[in-house]
Structure formats: C-alpha cells, structure tokens
C-alpha cells in the first residue's frame, strides 16, 4: 500500500487587514479585551472570492511540488464559505489550475475541514485509486460575520492554504487520523439563517452566526484532546515523539489548554492566530505552511494536528513529514492588488448589520 506524502505546500493571505483598534470603531470593544480573551490582534479581509483564494494557494502548492495542474487526479476543497454551491467551488479551482479531468469536490466540516479532507484524499491515494491530489482549505469568513455582535465579530478572518499529496513508498504523510462529530449541542456554533431551511419568501438580512464561547471552549478542549490520544495510540507514539503541534487557530486559550494536556513545550507549537484570527478550515493549512517556512517543521518531523468546528466536528491527525522542506519552484500565484482598507471592504456589511 502506498503512502500519501506531502510534496507541496502553499498559502494565500489577503493583503487587507483589520486590527483590534480598528474593529473597535465598529463594535464596543478594544485591543485589550480581544487579545487577552482570544490572542487575536488582527484579521485579514479578502477582496476576492473563496475560489480565487483557493486557486492561489493551490497553484503555489503545485509550484512547490514541481508539478502542473494536469498531473493532479483530485482537487478537494475544504470550505464552509464556498463561492457557489452549484456548481461546487472546487470545480472552478480545478479549471483555474489546469487540472483537466481531475475529480473536483467541496467538503464542509467547518474548522475541522482541512483534516477531514486530508484523510479523504490520503485514503484514495493509499488504496491506489488516485496518485496525486491537491487538498485546499479556503474561507471567506468575514462574509458571514454579523458586525453588530461583538463576541463573534472579532474572531474571524479570511485566507487559504493547500498541500499536494503524492503516492510514495516512503512512510510519510498522514499516518494516523481520528475524525468525528459530537451532535449533542450542535446549535452552540452555527449560522441559522443560511441554507434550504430558510423560508425563501422572507428577507434573509445579515448572517446570524450563533456562538456560545464557553461551551465551545469546553467541548473543543475535550474533543481535540481525546482525538489526539486516539491518534497517538494508533501510531504507537508517545508525547515525547511529537516534534510539532499545529492546532486549529480559534482561540489562544484553547491552544494553550491542548498544549498543556499534551505536555508540549512552547517552542514546538505553531501559533499564528494573532495575525489572522480564526480562518476556519484554512487555519491549519496556513499554519502548516508557515511552520515549514519558519523552520519549525524539519525533515522527518512528527506533527500532531487537531481541530474542532461547527457540527460539532472534531479531528486529530499524525503527519510524518518527508525529507524536503524547501520548494522545488517558488510560488508564482498572487492575488490582484487591493485598493481598499479592511474597514472599507466591510463597510457595506457593517451598515446592513447595524440597520437590521
């Protein structure tokens, strides 16, 4: 049975940002309130669609792997903010990167989406059904934010990350994984006024993102910790064997709680929530890229990753890195210039939320 080695990685970070001080112009809050409770100091706002974010990340991952889109058998996009529902957004990304004839599919497990997608693509490679896949996580969460609600308005940002998986005889890539869903309290994190449950004859208005922070914190720490224990057991590893922890970037306190439960030192934990906020499925994909770029991930590193999201989905994965930590080719894709600030990009949505 083949392994699904990670041979390419790429990201897409929108240029416009909103700092905590700037967001205090929208809702009653301040930098101290946000940063001490979440670890977030800024978040990015996209001026382009989810498909465009995903395309840039995917192309840069292909460049890194030294392959072209035509070499890919599967384009799998993890997102809960697709550009279009029908046709799926992955099909547009497939077209944009020239992956002619490749299967294209969206998957939605919210913040756990990247790890879910990694498992799905890895399984297809390991069983011999495909040879190469590009797995992308892209989100435009600021599109859904209700800017009148402080508790959730300060949390989310936009971005994308991607990896290329290729069949290999080398024992590397995703080697152990545990995914699941705790539906007992799925209502504590959801967007209520979106989907076919709506009465289409009534006005939709601003998105109604429901977010019960305390309950989410408790369930996130419990679910992610238990999943990590399960994965370590599958892989027959001890905590001492883990070189890097790449957790979902939802809240610094959650990251620290997971870190404490796993007894992992600070220097082994990848944290970038301060720069980007919670980009849902994209957080781990972006963090994985930056962990390589920053030298945190080294050849043959043992990586533990965990996530928790709406549903309430959860996931944990053990990833064995290969020998290469430098791109074969430099990234060639980038977003078009943006002539607006982050606040200017969301101005219309802010007005709509305040009027609702």
Task: Count CB neighbours of 14 within 10 A.
Answer: 26
Active site residue 248: yes
153 phi, psi to nearest 5 deg: -65, -30
Please, what's the b/e burial string for 58-68 (b: 16 or more CB within 10 A of its CB; e: otherwise)? bbbbbbbbebe
SS3 316: strand
3-class secondary-structure state, position 212: coil
Residue 302 annotated as catalytic: no
Q: Pairing mode, if any, of strands 42-45 and 16-19?
A: antiparallel
Angstrom distance (rounded) from CA 115 to CA 177: 8
Contact indicator for 44, 159 with CB cutoff of 8 Å? yes
d(CA 278, CA 271): 11
**Which one is catalytic: 96, 248, 251, 272?**
248
In order, the DSSP letters of 51-88 are: HHHHHHHHHHHHHHHT--GGG-SEEEEE-SS-S-TTTT
Measured over all CA atoms, what is the biggest interatomic distance in the chain, rounded to whole angstroms?
A: 59
Other beta carbons within 10 Å of 200: 6
Catalytic site residue from 20, 108, 251, 278: 278
Catalytic residue from among 111, 228, 289, 353: 111
Is residue 96 within 8 A of residue 296, CB to CB? The reply is no
Non-local (6+) Cβ contacts of 190 within 8 A are 209, 210, 310
Q: Is 181 a catalytic residue?
A: no
User: Residue holding tokens 């290329």?
Assistant: 164
Strand partners, 60: none
What residues are labeled active site? Answer: 111, 248, 278
């Amino acid at each position: 049975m083949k392994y699904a080695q990670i041979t390419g990685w790429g990201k897409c970070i929108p240029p416009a940002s909103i700092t905590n001080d700037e967001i205090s112009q929208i809702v009653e809050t301040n930098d101290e309130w946000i940063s001490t409770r979440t670890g977030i100091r800024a978040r990015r706002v996209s001026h382009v669609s989810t498909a465009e974010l995903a395309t840039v990340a995917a192309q840069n991952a292909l460049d890194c792997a030294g392959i072209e889109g035509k070499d890919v058998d599967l384009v799998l996009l993890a997102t809960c903010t697709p550009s279009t529902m029908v046709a799926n957004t992955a099909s547009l990304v497939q077209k944009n990167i020239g992956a002619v004839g490749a299967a294209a599919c969206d998957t939605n497990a919210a913040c756990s989406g990247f790890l879910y997608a990694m498992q799905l693509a890895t399984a297809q490679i390991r069983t011999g059904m495909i040879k190469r896949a590009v797995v992308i996580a892209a989100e435009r969460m600021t599109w859904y934010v209700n800017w009148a609600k402080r508790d959730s308005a300060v949390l989310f940002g936009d971005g994308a990350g991607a990896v290329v998986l290729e069949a290999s005889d080398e024992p590397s890539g995703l080697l152990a994984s545990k995914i699941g869903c705790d539906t007992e309290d799925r209502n504590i994190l959801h967007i209520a006024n979106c989907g076919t449950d709506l009465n289409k004859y009534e006005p939709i208005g601003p998105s109604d993102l429901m977010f019960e922070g305390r309950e989410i914190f408790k369930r996130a720490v419990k679910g992610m910790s238990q999943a990590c224990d399960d994965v370590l057991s599958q892989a027959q590893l001890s905590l001492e064997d883990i070189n890097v922890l790449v957790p979902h970037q939802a809240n610094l306190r959650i990251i620290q709680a997971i870190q404490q439960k796993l007894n992992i030192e600070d220097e082994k934990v990848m944290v970038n929530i301060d720069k980007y906020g919670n980009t849902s499925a994209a957080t781990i994909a972006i963090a994985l890229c930056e962990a390589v770029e920053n030298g945190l991930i080294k050849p043959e590193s043992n990586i533990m990753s965990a996530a928790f999201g709406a549903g309430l989905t959860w996931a944990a994965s053990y990833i064995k890195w290969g020998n290469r930590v430098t791109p074969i080719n430099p990234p060639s894709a980038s977003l078009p210039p943006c002539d607006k600030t982050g606040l200017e990009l969301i101005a219309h949505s802010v007005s709509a939320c305040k009027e609702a």
